Amino acid sequence: MTGFPPSQFLDSTLGVAAGACFLGALLFASVSDLRSRRIPNRLVMVLGLLGTVYSVLAVGFPLGASRVLVSCVIGFALWIPFYALRMLGAGDVKLFAAASCWLAPSQVLSAALVSAFAGGLLSLVGLVLAHGLELTTFRIAHLARDPKLMTTPLAVPTGRRTLPYGIAMAIGLAVIAWFPRLVKLV
């Protein structure tokens, strides 16, 4: 399957309007995840539905519908193992799958990789905020000599909450949707 044009949201008025809706939904999901560590199911459904409509309008009915299905399945399959391992919440997985409806199947893996990179940076910031720069730096510096440090969990300080991974996913999805040539894997 071929992908969307080099920048799918900049190729037409429809693309710019759709891109604004896509970014707005991702921003809303990020704010919700940051505030309550939840991503509303209604938002996920609307995001998937609008992505389906956009893909069908942008590419045509049979091809657009098949892209939506394939992209959504790939997006879900990439992240569901992390939910099964209790590393992500169900809302994060659903958000990524629904937002994948806006992307060509060839873009979904790139979006997942950018999301994982953003999640790593977000995790690093979270460690520094929770445990300080000194302990975080110490653990990272000593990982090469003692890999067991990576499996030794740090206690979550009282009052700290889980990592809002939906933010990292929104970053990866937005970057690849707006700048698909930034990371080209397929």
pLDDT at residue 126 in the model: 83
Q: Is the four-CA dihedral 172, 176, 181, 185 of positive or negative sign?
A: positive
Confidence of residue 145 (pLDDT cuts 50, 70, 90): confident
Tell me the per-residue pLDDT of 155-176, one tens digit each, with 9 for 90 and over. Answer: 666 665 678 999 999 999 999 9
Domain map of the chain by residue range?
13-178
pLDDT at residue 4 in the model: 47
Tell me the per-residue pLDDT of 107-144, one tens digit each, with 9 for 90 and over. Answer: 999 999 999 999 999 988 888 888 788 887 887 787 77
Arithmetic mean of pLDDT over the chain:
87
Q: Is the four-CA dihedral 104, 168, 113, 178 of positive or negative sign?
A: positive
CA 162 – CA 37 distance, rounded (Å): 7
Tell me the per-residue pLDDT of 63-78, one tens digit each, with 9 for 90 and over. Answer: 999 999 999 999 999 9
Residue 186, pLDDT above cutoff 80: no
